[in-house]
Amino acid sequence: MNKRVVITGIGGICGLGSCAADIWAAMCEGRSAIGVLSSPSLHDITARTGCAIRNLPQHEIDRKQILSMDRFSVLAVLAAREAVQQAGLTASDTNRYRLGATVGVGVCGWEAIEQDYRAMLLHGRKRTGAFTAPKVMPGAAAGHVSMDLGLRGPVYGVTSACSSSNHAIASAVDQIRCGRADVMVAGGADAPLIWGVVKSWEAMRVLSPDTCRPFSANRQGAVLGEGAGMIVLESYDHARARGAEILAELAGAGLSADAFDIAAQTIEGPEAAIRACLADAGLVPEDVDYLNAHGTGTRPNDQIETAAIKRAFGDHAYRMSVSSTKSMHAHCLGASGALELIACVMAIRHGIVPPTANYEQPDPDCDLDVTPNVARERKVKVTLSNSFAFAGTNAVLAIKAA
């Protein structure tokens, strides 16, 4: 029998705020943090719109550790600390081998890579920084979270582009269900606002020149952002035994692959992931009150996702609430799913559906209730969170009231 897995802590940092509570407050206000990127290194970028973290909070990460950390790892540690603090967890000699971490990352340590390239190619330096290799590896964030918090159970990184967070969280659920861990700190982090990364996205012609308008007929593309989101997952029995406050239940996950194209999507792949998630969670379509959409703001993505939702939910697709919070925190790549999970947990706890900001014009191909511009009060017992990525790797999570 599968163990029930519950959420006992959440943490986040992105352009909307430096903690989960601030991020949620901004979402409820429908406030977008998207703006003009001010970094001088982005001087020749045409679409200089993005969602940056203006100032990192004081973090007191050990100086020796910080020397070996790229920005995405710092963000992961900050979000993980908040989640673990809320959960009231402490690693001790008796439990630390039962506590683990999985962190999803989409583009890894490009800040360190670019700094080294500039130093060597433009300024004549003969070698990279001593810690460049461990800084840039995709598993670095998970390693740093484990070192910072003293977690010695299953620890590893997950990378599947824009689905990385949801894949990492689904994998963490499996560790608990299989009995390899009692607690997993899971989520995602990314810091893609780097010249080379933004330039490569610009070359695909998918970046918006102004802002992110998911599902709006006049949308012009996606907007990149940076951030991290982390949650604490525990077996239900473990959480109850230590008297933890249970925020919600991670009821199920659905994974699929399009097996079609490195960049283009199918309808069938996302539909299959949604159906698999409902089945894993023991839910039927009518149980779902709110769906946090992948909703990137690109024309094909929004239309395909809408079609997949209609196929999976039937008539109920028009009765549940849908929104894309990327309209406010932008597309944080490997961190997006974890930030969106914060919205799902908080929607259940507060009975509020966050809006799709910047919405202006109805699109007949995206005709669901996308909660335009203004948050809505609604009793929310069950939510789904969609993440779909390049190479057709799809991951959907189901969260329900505990």
Q: Could you state, in order of their start, the residue ranges of all structural domains in the chain? A: 5-241, 252-400
Q: Do the strands 224-225 and 49-51 form a parallel or antiparallel pair, or are they unpaired?
A: parallel
| Distance of alpha carbon 335 from alpha carbon 312, whole angstroms | 25
Q: Do the strands 248-257 and 393-400 form a parallel or antiparallel pair, or are they unpaired?
A: antiparallel
Active site residue 294: yes
220: which residues sit within 8 A by CB, 6+ positions away? Answer: 208, 209, 210, 213, 297
Q: What is the pLDDT of residue 108?
A: 86
Tokens 């299953």 belong to which residue?
154
Q: Report which of 20, 57, 42 is spatially closest to residue 338, judged by C-alpha positions.
A: 20
| Distance of alpha carbon 387 from alpha carbon 402, whole angstroms | 23
Fold match, 5-241 / 252-400? yes
Q: What is the pLDDT of residue 47?
A: 85
Given 144, 238, 294, 329, the catalytic residue: 294
Given 51, 162, 344, 366, the catalytic residue: 162
Q: What is the DSSP letter of 335?
A: G
Half-sphere exposure of 136 (CA within 13 A, CB side): 13
The CATH class given to the 252-400 domain equals alpha beta
Q: CATH assignment of 5-241, given 3.40.47.10, 3.30.2130.10, 3.20.19.10, 3.20.20.100?
A: 3.40.47.10
Given 331, 332, 344, 366, the catalytic residue: 331
Q: Report which of 389, 260, 370 is spatially closest to residue 321, judged by C-alpha positions.
A: 370
User: For the chain, which ranges sit under pLDDT 50?
Assistant: 1
377: which residues sit within 8 A by CB, 6+ positions away? Answer: 351, 352, 353
Active site residue 162: yes
